[in-house]
Structure 1
Amino acid sequence: MSGWQVSGYTPVRRLGAGASGSVELAVHDATGTPVAIKYLTARSDDELFRADFRDEARLLADIDDPHICRLYEYVEASGGAAIVMELVNGVSLRQMLRAQGPTTPESALCVLKGSLAGLGAAHARGVVHRDYKPENVLVTAEGTSKLADFGIAMPVGAASGGSVTGTPRYMAPEQWSGAPASPACDIYAATATFFECLTGHPPYDGRDLATLRRQHVRAPIPTDRAPRPVQGLLRDGMAKRPDERPQPAQVFLASLEEVAAAAYGDDWEERGWRELARRAALLAALFPFPNGTGGGMSVASTALAASTPPPVADDSDAPVPRRTGRARAALVGTGLVAAMLVGGAGLSYAAKDEPVGAGAATEARTELTAGTAPTSGVPVAPPGTVTPTPDEPVVDSPGPATPTGTGPAPTGITPADPSPSVSRTGDAPAPTPVPSPPTSPAPPPDTTAPTVDRVAASPTELDPSGCPFGPTASTVTALVADDRTDPGQLRVRLRYTLEKRSYEQSMGLLRGGQFGGGLGDLPRPGATTRIPVTVLATDAAGNTTTGATVYVTLYSFCTPG
């Protein structure tokens, strides 16, 4: 991005980064409302790639529904492109299921109801999500849910060109064959996620693409694992043939409400929301605003033209942005998690050479050809050798001490000969003694340690080594500076603690004063744990400082595909 920022917003901190984009928390200057800004960072000079990013914004701009993360504006400039999104103060459904297991039937029904409402609004605008899954559902502190990440969305009926894109655990049978985008595939994925809420597991557990495809296409729907009152909803929503699923989404929604009221009483929704809010509160430390105040309702006049011609550049080097989209009357300061989840574990595999529709998806997606093993889509520096170290920072041995307290030599005495030199030949007068040049005082010793700033890790949730779908490596970055030592001479490393043991590995200089290192391929812990990661920097004089601590969550199990 070369430092380019969307005008009218003050950046606060980076939330995450992946292969195609980064997401930053920022504040709208005119209203003080927090927002999430998704920047295109990969191949920003590739017009086709940027067109995909622009298409994502165009699709989102036409959708305004409380169950979908709103788009505020899309900005293009010579420095890059960005989408400004609503923040959601909450956690993803994936985080909740990982930490707490299956939900109550009422809570699962609430999630499905919110999802069907959001999908129905998108379908009414002619948009198919195509990648519905627990990672893309955000649960707020109030227990409501919002749908996020339209990175591979397509217009209803659009052909995929032979490419198959989505997350295999939740893909409808027809989606595996590259059928045109259809609302029925979203309904299937939402029902599969509903199944996971009820049971704690996806409906099918194949460990490779061929097995998963066969299960989705031919295997019976495992309704017997779910509570009896909702088994009919599962059979309808996951019907193998798309024309046998309830459509549009509002039809399925009406059936859901009827079943829920008959099985769990008229107050089922209130109890479901209350339970979701309770579960979310237990994960409040993961909220963007842990105190529950994600910003208030603030009116803004963000003008977004449906089609704005590119601006005419002046003679200056400053980028002139163009803003496109649809007019918004308000910016709502609610949360951040879901607008863009960068560096997640979505999968894309192609029947042709090039994937279609991946665009600037907020998750890093790995392109696979059927039968190949998935890999993490988040580029990281290769992790170094992990070695235990003591608890105290390891400091380089200082070099030889600089002499102190020396001053200029006395007048008439040279350093080579401390006695006067007088000539006695003839009557010639003795030469005048020549004073030696004064010696400058030695500089004061270097006692100032480097500064370590902007310590960040992305992604911040990892699967243990050997897991096939979720990310198993994270990139740790920091900005390091020193008053005397050049960046290339600094010794920078990251230190982390896992199960009461400390490990340390070196970090490399990326550019300027930014250093980066890899944290990954970690052994499976006995229980899901938060790993504290710090960055240490040592200058040429041996002064060492430690930056802020960031946390990376390491799960004790593998993410479903």
Structure 2
Amino acid sequence: MYGHTDAWRVPGYTEIRELGVGGGGRVVLARHDADDIPVAIKYLSDQLMTDLHFVARFRHEARLLAAMDPNPHAARFYEYAETSRGAAIVMELVDGVSLRAMLRSEGPTGPEAALTVLKGSLLGLAAAHEIGVVHRDYKPENVMVEADGNSKLVDFGIAVQAGEGVSASGTPPYMAPEQWSGGRAGPAGDVYAATVVFFECLTGSRPFRAQNIAALARQHQATPPPVDEVPPPLRGLVERGMAKRPQDRYGSAEEFLRELETVAAGAYGPAWEERGRRRLAALAGLLVPFFPLKKDVPEAGTALAETRLGGLLGQARMKIGLTLAGMVVIAAGTVALVQTVSGTTLQAGTSIETPSPLALDPSSAGDAPTEEPEDSEPSPEPSPVSTSPKPAASPTPVVRPTAKPTLRPTRRPTAKPTVKPTVRPTVKPTVRPTTRPKPSAKPTSQPDPTVTATIDPQPTTRPTSRPTATRTTAPPTTRPTPTVSEPGGSSPPQDVPR
């Protein structure tokens, strides 16, 4: 046996795989060796084989199934086998999924599909009621839906003869009020359970949802069903099918079936069953991988595969899109940073930022020292290319004599800048002999011939307005003379001799 190599097997069958296992036993998929027909074999567990009561119930189930005539809405009985090593019931294999799996996966089925499931179940129950058998355990787990939308009733494990007085047993959410008290079994109990399942197909939830057994029993015995949750045309079916007293319900599955067909045709037209079956077939098609014979059913092209593929592709597209968006943001930030940095030319030895951008060309700075001597008046001051007598006045006099005085006048530790000259790369500024620059935090009286703007010589005077400077936009043939007004009350600017 599959997974049980030393267990007893029903002779004449080749087992393929296990379909399910529970407290009462296990169900395996097998093939009949004589004609290769697939079957489902239900084995009683080894533990229950030692209990004579459970063995007797298992035999009783087999006898009831054998007494039923073949019906397209109930699983067909083949044979019963029992030895000292085990007991088994061989049944028709229903190649489909349980209604429970369908509801759990897809939710409510819709009115027409729910009516179709209910009709198929009532036809299966009617075949049992005809021979006096009451199922007593009708629930979504015991309704199988095939690929074509047809439904079949299975598992008569606790079925009894109608009229028998039995103890309370069944599945609590679907038990009729009289079943809770251990009343006599009858077809009305199956009608009640079928109506509860019908309600669940319509709404996706059970009518009574108490979390403990005592409260659930009170709801089934005293609380009216919430018929306002179902479509109005079907409320009468639910209300009568779930009546508290057995005599107020439909007397049999056949009576319920006749009422169902009348209501369905009036509410949804004569083609309601065909549409409902197509809907069930579509829902079952989504669960093809769970069919017992799934290896024999091609899975390509099913709605389930398309849905999953679409979901995976959608997630991949989303990830790619987010990645591209992140790359664009990073690139935009990089471009903005580069443009911001490129707006100001930073030179070695300087760490001061000016409020206005300076476009200082190193080549023009290097040319200035060669022409300064002919613009300057004769004085004992040193040439711009030579080292200043006081190093504090010019930190880097040899490498870039004009770079630091040009940048530093815009920020001083003790006073705000008075001049913010903007120099074009082609402009060669001139120097006035009377200008006293402040290249360091502590200004000196030493004049510096490399200053490009007139600076307020008084360190204690704060500017009250910004100076304005004129600048030349075209390359001049003669050096321009920038005019700077000094707000500190200093001497007026002087023209530089050409």
In the alignment, the residues of structure 1 paired with residue 25 and residue 103 of structure 2 have an alpha-carbon distance, to the nearest angstrom, of: 26
1:195 aligned partner: 199
Q: 2:282 aligns with which of 278, 281, 297?
A: 278
Aligned to 1:164: 168
Amino acid at match of 2:149: G
Gaps of 5+ in 2: 299-498
| DSSP 3-state at the match of 1:243 | helix
Aligned ranges for residues 448-487 of structure 1 at < 5 Å? Answer: none
Change in CA separation of 1:43 and 1:205 when aligned onto 2, cut-off 3 Å: closer
Cα distance in 1 for residues equivalent to 2:239 and 2:203: 15
Measure, in 1, the Cα distance between the counterparts of 2:157 and 2:293: 25
CA distance in 1, matches of 2:118, 2:260: 9
Partner of 1:214: 218
Relative contact order: is structure 1 or structure 2 higher (C-alpha 8 Å, sep ≥ 6)?
1
Q: What is the alpha-carbon root mean square deviation over aligned residues?
A: 1.4
CA–CA distance in structure 1, aligned partners of residues 228 and 51 of structure 2: 49
Match of 1:45 in 2: 50
Q: 2:50 is aligned with what amino acid?
A: D
Residue aligning to 1:309: none
Letter in 2 for 1:274: R
Q: Structure 1 residues 219 and 265 mapped into 2: Cα distance closer, same or farther (>3 Å)?
A: same
| Alignment counterpart, residue 66 of structure 1, candidates 50, 65, 72 | 72
Return the alpha-carbon distance in structure 2 between the equivalents of residues 115 and 258 of structure 1.
17
Structure showing the higher strand proportion among its residues: 1
Distance in structure 1 (CA, Å) of the matches to 2:239 and 2:18: 42
Aligned-pair CA distance for 1:291:
5.7
Q: Which of residues 255, 259, 262 is equivalent to 1:258?
A: 262
Whether the 8 Å CA contact 2:19–2:292 is kept in 1: the answer is no
**Deviation per residue, 1:445-480 (Å, 9 max, x gap):** xxxxxxxxxxxxxxxxxxxxxxxxxxxxxxxxxxxx
Residue 129 of structure 2 corresponds to 123
Picking from 189, 206, 209, the partner of 1:205 is 209
Q: TM-score, normalised by structure 2?
A: 0.57
Equivalence for 2:181: 177
Q: How does 1:11-90 map to 2 (within 5 A)?
A: 11-41=15-45, 42-63=47-68, 64-90=70-96
Per-residue deviation, residues 309-359 of structure 1 (Å, max 9, x unmatched): xxxxxxxxxxxxxxxxxxxxxxxxxxxxxxxxxxxxxxxxxxxxxxxxxxx
1:217 counterpart SS class: helix
Write out per-residue CA displacement over residues 21-73 of structure 1, whole angstroms, 9 at most, x where no aligned residue: 11111100111111011111223133332111111101111112111111100
2:24 maps to amino acid? S
* Aligned partners of 1:134 and 1:193 also within 8 Å: yes
1:106 aligns with 2:112: yes
Number of aligned positions between the proteins: 292
Aligned to 1:93: 99
1:292: Cα distance to partner? 6.1
Letter aligned with residue 84 of structure 2? S
CA gap of 1:82–1:288, structure 2 versus 1, over 3 A, is: same
Does residue 241 of structure 1 match 2:245?
yes
Q: Say which one has the larger Rg.
A: 2
What is the TM-score normalised by the length of structure 1?
0.51
Distance 1:189 1:47, change over 3 A: same
Q: Distance in 2 between matches of 1:274 and 1:20?
A: 35
Deviation of 1:19 (Å): 2.2
Answer 1 or 2: which has greater helix percent: 2
Separation in structure 2 between the aligned mates of residue 270 and residue 62 of structure 1, nearest angstrom: 31
Equivalent position of 1:145 in the other structure: 151
Contact 1:131 1:167 in 2 (8 A): yes
Residues 196 and 206, structure 2, Cα contact 8 Å, conserved in 1: yes
Identity of aligned residues (%): 59
State the shift of 1:131 in Å: 0.8
